[in-house]
Chain A
Amino acid sequence: MRGALAALIGVAAASAFAAEPPPTAAAATPPGPLTLVIQNHRFSPAEITIPANKAVAILVINKDPLAEEFDSSALKIEKVIAGNDSGTIRLRPLAPGRYPFAGEYHSDTAKGVVIAQ
C-alpha cells in the first residue's frame, strides 16, 4: 500500500517535470507585439489596452538591473522577471474591464492597468 502510494506520487512528480506543454499551449500564445518595459521601477506603458475575450501575450522587458515580480490578482499572474531579462506573460481571455497590476518589490511606483475592451 505504502509502496504503491510512493510509486504513484513519484510518477506524478516525474510526469510533472517531464511533461511538455500540450499543443494547445502554443496555440494559446498568439503572436503579439505587445511589450511592457520596466525601468526605474516603473512600467511603461502604464496602461495597456487589449481586445476583450481574447488570449493575449505580453513580453515584459526588465531594463532595471534588479529583479521585479509582476503581480496581479485580477489577471491571476505572479511572475518574477530577473534583472536585465525578459519574460512572457500569457493573459487568459478577459471580460471587458480594468485589471490592475503592480511590481511587488516596488509597488509604490511600479503600477499599471490592463484595460480589456
Chain B
Amino acid sequence: MLATLIIVFREAMEAGLIVGIVLAATKGVPGRGRWISLGIAGGTLGACLVAIFARGLSRLFEGSGQELFNAAVLLLAVGMLIWHNVWMASHGREMSRQLRAMGAEVKLGARSLTALAVVVGIAVLREGSEVVLFLYGVATQGGSTAFGMLGGGFLGLLAGAAVSALLYFGLLAIPMKRLFAVTGALITMVAAGLAVQAVAFLQQGGFFNFLDTPLWDTSALLPDDSVPGRVLKTLLGYTDRPDGLQLAAWAAVILLMIGLTRLVHWHQAREQRPVTAPGRNPDATGTRI
C-alpha cells in the first residue's frame, strides 16, 4: 500500500504544484474555481482516454506517437503560459490595483482563465495518464491486496492535493501587490521546465538527435526522480542530466517571456505618452490597450 501511495503521490504532486500556482495566479478572478475545476475534470477525462488509447497512440509515427503526443501537449501548455504572462503584462497592474482597492473580486475580464484552465488540464492529463494506467493495473490484478493498494493510490492523490494546497496558501502569504509578480516569475520557470520535458520527449522519439549529449550530471547530488528533485523539476525545470538542446529550450522560454512582457510594457508606455507635434492637438492620455 505504501508503494502505491508513493508512486501515485509522485505524479499527483507534479500536477498539484502547477494547480497551486495557477490558483494563486488567479486570486480574486471571478469564476476561477469553476474554470480550474473544469481543467482538472477535463484533464482527468483526458488521462483516462490516453490510457485507453495508449496502444494505438504508440503505434503512430513509427512507434514514436507517445513521445510526440507528450511533447505536443507540453508545448501547448508552454504556449498557454506565455499567453497568460503576456495578458498579465497588459492587465496585471490594473488587476492588482483593483484587488487591493476592493479586496474581493476583480471586475476585469477573465480571458486568461481559459488558457490557465487548459494548462491545469494538461498537467493533470500528463501525470494522470500514468496514474490511471498504474491504478488500472493494480485494480485488475484483483485479490485482497488490490483493495489496500487502491486505497494507497487514493491517499497518494490526497497527498498530491495537499501539496497543491500548501503551495497555494504559502503563496497567498505574499503581500497582494507582489503576488502577481511572484506568480508571473513562477509561471515563467514552470513554462521553461515544461519546455525542457518536451525536448526530452522529442529526443526520445528520435525527432531531434543533435545536442543530445548530457552536459553535466548532478544525479549524485539531487536525482531528478527523487521527491525534492521532482519539485525542482516542476518549479524550475531542473533535470539532473541536461543536454544542450534542453538548456537552450529552457533559456529560450525564459528570454521569450521576459522579452514579450518588456515589449508589452513598452507598447503601453508609448500609447500613453501624449503626442505634441507642432500644429496638432495633443492626443488624450490614458488610452487603453
Contacts and interface: CB of A to CB of B under 8 A. Distances in A.
Given A21-B61, A28-B206, A104-B130, 8 more contacts: A13-B75, A17-B72, A24-B209, A25-B209, A66-B137, A76-B214, A82-B133, A90-B204
Contacts of B79: 9, 12-13
A79 B204 contact: yes
B205 interface: yes
B209 A105 contact: no
Interface of B: 3, 7, 51, 54-55, 58, 61-64, 66-68, 71-72, 75-76, 79-80, 82-83, 86-87, 129-130, 133-134, 136-137, 140-141, 200-201, 203-207, 209, 212-214, 219, 223-225, 240-241, 243, 264, 267
Contacts of B134: 67, 69, 105
A92 B83 contact: no
A40 to B, nearest CB: 12
A82 B51 CA distance: 9
Interface of A: 1-2, 5-6, 9, 12-13, 16-17, 19-22, 24-26, 28-29, 55, 65-67, 69, 71, 73-74, 76-83, 85, 87-88, 90, 92-93, 104-105, 108
A76 B209 contact: no
A80 B47 CA distance: 13
A85 B51 CA distance: 13
Contacts of A2: 86-87
Contact of B206 (A16, A78, A90): A90
Contact of A76 (B68, B72, B200, B267): B200
Nearest to B61: A21
Contacts of A77: 204
Contacts of B83: 5-6, 9
B219 to A, nearest CB: 6
B135 to A, nearest CB: 10
B213 A108 contact: no
Nearest to A6: B83
A87 B137 CA distance: 18
A21 B206 contact: yes
Contacts of A6: 83
A88 B59 CA distance: 10
Contacts of A78: 200-201, 204
B55 to A, nearest CB: 5
A76 B213 CA distance: 10
A76 B203 contact: yes
A25 B204 contact: no
A104 B7 contact: yes
A13 B72 contact: yes
Contacts of B140: 65-66
Contact of B207 (A13, A22, A81, A105): A22
Nearest to B226: A73
A75 B64 CA distance: 16
B241 A67 contact: no
B206 A67 contact: no
Contacts of B66: 79-80, 87
B86 A92 contact: no
A13 B74 CA distance: 10
B63 A80 contact: no
